[in-house]
Structure 1
Amino acid sequence: MTHHEHKTITVLKETILPGESKTINMEIAKLHTMTKLKIPIIVERSKFHGPTVLLTAGLHGDEINGIEIVRQLIVQKINKPKIGTIICIPVINVFGFLNQTREFPDKRDLNRVFPGSKSGSLASQFAHSILTEIIPLVDFAIDFHAGGASRFNAPQIRIVPDNSELKALADVFNAPFGLFSKNIHGTFRNSCDKLGVKMLLFEGGKSIDISKSITHEGIEGTKRILNHFGMLNSRKKITIPEHKTLYIEKSGWIRAKYSGMFHGLTKIGSFVEKGQILATISDPYGKIEHKLKAPNSGYIINVNDAPIVYQGDAIYHISNATGDE
């Protein structure tokens, strides 16, 4: 891994020397109330030379579980590195976090406007600042996300297919599941990749929610990565899970065939057999109860937590089991 040979690191014209800790506020814009909106960037540098790791969350403002993971990494002082530098941005989309919404205030999905531009939409300008101010300093990043709406994701790392370096890092993180997904145009991950920054994308939990088990998986995986780079504070210990990451090559959504009240019977992360009853969908009047069955054997990596579903709603994400399981 090539470390950036910076004796000093400068973020938004503020210099952080080896051994220094600094919180730098990135001002993006004023609200319509003229309140300034600042995004705290928390930089911790060791006295000793090493890689620069970026930990980010809240790209979607309602994905609070990711924000909680980065907050805990700071509270537990895991972000104080033995060597190198750790940069934490717990909430990238402060606007969305403020309003408990996924989007930016200009109604754009921030994760579709990268690399952005100096003179584009507000979201676009902001994406541009992050890529020009922070990413050039970084060797490696972990971006924390959660499932959209009320769909709960099993803890998983997403990486592009056929990239042995990223696959090796995903192995080190050792989340319960690993998914191969191509870079989507306009995403933070895609832009980082183009700029030579290796990124692991962590998915877990659902929006407007904090799950202790998801937070635990995110923290422990991050500690294993930092330890791998020789950056983990000596007082912190890593745990090695009994199971190695289960990589899923192919997966698909199971959609509701009917609208109605949803009664889920299937635990997140569990293995189900083809034909197994996953849930029932009923009318409110006690007349009808439809059984929803697994179309194939596989692992359930996302479950719906909403009490009401509409016909066509994605309610379970299932891996397509292969013969070698």
Structure 2
Amino acid sequence: MKNSKPLVILGETILPGQSKTIDMEIAKLHNAAKLKIPVIIQRSKIDGPTVLFSAGIHGDEINGVEIVRQLITKKINKPKRGTIICIPIINMFGYINMSRQFPDGRDLNRVFPGTKKGSLASRFAYHVMTEILPHIDYAIDFHAGGASRFNAPQIRLVPDNVELKQLADIFNAPFTLFSKNIAGTFRNSSQKTNVKMLLFEGGKSLDINDDVADAGTEGVKRFLSFLGMLDPKHEVQFKESESIYINKSLWLRAKCSGMLHDHNKIGQFVKKGDVLATISDPFGKFEQKVKAPNDGYIINANHSPIVYQGDAVYHISKTLYNEPK
């Protein structure tokens, strides 16, 4: 069906069949230089849904930025029908400073939906919610692990949502975690506005991992193909294996401080008692083994060479969605 409806975002009109980059400007840098957040819009002449691919809510999570960048450079964001909006870096302030936070010290992903006259982060969240989200039907927000913690590629979604579960099945990341929405997050506010959003986690902060980027871009192609939006020139790789769904998981924390020697078990299934790492002091006086507390998959590993007692070192699955009860 031919699309004749104009799309108006941030005061700019994008007609069917047009592509346009709109610079979102909320505030200047402290030296009065303008700070522009590019919003890249591609529209088909054929009617269809509007999908948002976003990254960089935390400015140091570069792997998500890389995935959205690849969607643009490979022209995966040029839809067969409907509209695709890409925002590779939402928190440009943090990206410039290689920091997770906004300049006001706030975590942007804890202040949604924001307010018109609040803090800088809150004002920015408000503009995203009022200027972008009203046009969106589906979204995938790309993240990476923080504080040197490496996430195996995974989709996160709320439990008991049949439609999101179907979309996660289609995306088919190596792992899918059921997790409740957290107040103040982009995902939580999106759900309240009926935007069907998946959250992708993969890799770690201030790092680009090719395998994670591949998992993200291939999942997006399957996602768009399901919606009838993927240009036929793009080959879709349908995996034989299905995503491993995780109902419950736990964080394994360091019992002592020291140097962490990771045994590279990320993404693997381990048995209770398997040695995941060792923690040692720098003087050769002790070495403590870090053992799996139960059978499960390692979905996050701390890659920091130094840990303190109580630091999270591994995220391990506890129960699987399809395992017998």
TM-score of Structure 1 vs Structure 2, range by shorter chain = over 0.9
- Counterpart in the other structure of 1:100: 98
Percent of matched pairs sharing the same residue? 66
Counterparts in 2 of 1:6 and 1:124: CA distance versus 1, 3 Å: farther
CA distance in 1, matches of 2:239, 2:251: 28
CA distance in 2, matches of 1:122, 1:133: 16
CA distance in 1, matches of 2:176, 2:145: 15
CA distance in 2, matches of 1:205, 1:149: 11
Normalised to the residue count of structure 2, the TM-score between the two structures is 0.97
> Is 1:142 matched up with 2:140?
yes
Q: Tell me if the contact between 2:261 and 2:305 (Cα under 8 Å) persists in the aligned partners.
A: yes
Q: Tell me if the contact between 1:299 and 1:321 (Cα under 8 Å) persists in the aligned partners.
A: no
- Counterpart in the other structure of 2:279: 281
Q: List alignment gaps of at least 5 residues for structure 2.
A: none
> Is 1:31 matched up with 2:29?
yes
Q: Tell me if the contact between 1:297 and 1:321 (Cα under 8 Å) persists in the aligned partners.
A: no
CA distance in 2, matches of 1:205, 1:163: 26
- Counterpart in the other structure of 1:193: 191
Q: Tell me if the contact between 1:112 and 1:186 (Cα under 8 Å) persists in the aligned partners.
A: yes
Partner SS, residue 219 of structure 2: helix
Q: Tell me if the contact between 2:247 and 2:319 (Cα under 8 Å) persists in the aligned partners.
A: no
Task: Give the Å deviation of 1:266.
Answer: 3.2
Q: Tell me if the contact between 1:55 and 1:87 (Cα under 8 Å) persists in the aligned partners.
A: yes
Q: List alignment gaps of at least 5 residues for structure 1.
A: none
Q: Deviations over 1:262-289 (max 9, x none)?
A: 1011321000000011100001111111
Task: Give the Å deviation of 1:242.
Answer: 2.1
Q: Comparing 143-152 with 258-267, which one deviates more in the overlay?
A: 258-267
Aligned runs of 1:138-217 on 2, under 5 Å? 138-217=136-215
CA distance in 2, matches of 1:306, 1:266: 13
CA distance in 2, matches of 1:220, 1:85: 19
Counterparts in 2 of 1:183 and 1:321: CA distance versus 1, 3 Å: closer
Task: Give the Å deviation of 1:6.
Answer: 6.9
> Is 1:131 matched up with 2:129?
yes
Counterparts in 2 of 1:286 and 1:6: CA distance versus 1, 3 Å: farther
Q: Tell me if the contact between 1:274 and 1:296 (Cα under 8 Å) persists in the aligned partners.
A: yes
CA distance in 2, matches of 1:163, 1:6: 33
Q: Tell me if the contact between 1:25 and 1:40 (Cα under 8 Å) persists in the aligned partners.
A: yes
- Counterpart in the other structure of 1:80: 78
Partner SS, residue 304 of structure 2: coil
CA distance in 1, matches of 2:4, 2:57: 27
CA RMSD of aligned residues (A): 1.3
Task: Give the Å deviation of 1:324.
Answer: 4.0
Task: Give the Å deviation of 1:240.
Answer: 1.0
CA distance in 2, matches of 1:176, 1:199: 18
Task: Give the Å deviation of 1:20.
Answer: 0.2
Q: Tell me if the contact between 2:181 and 2:188 (Cα under 8 Å) persists in the aligned partners.
A: yes
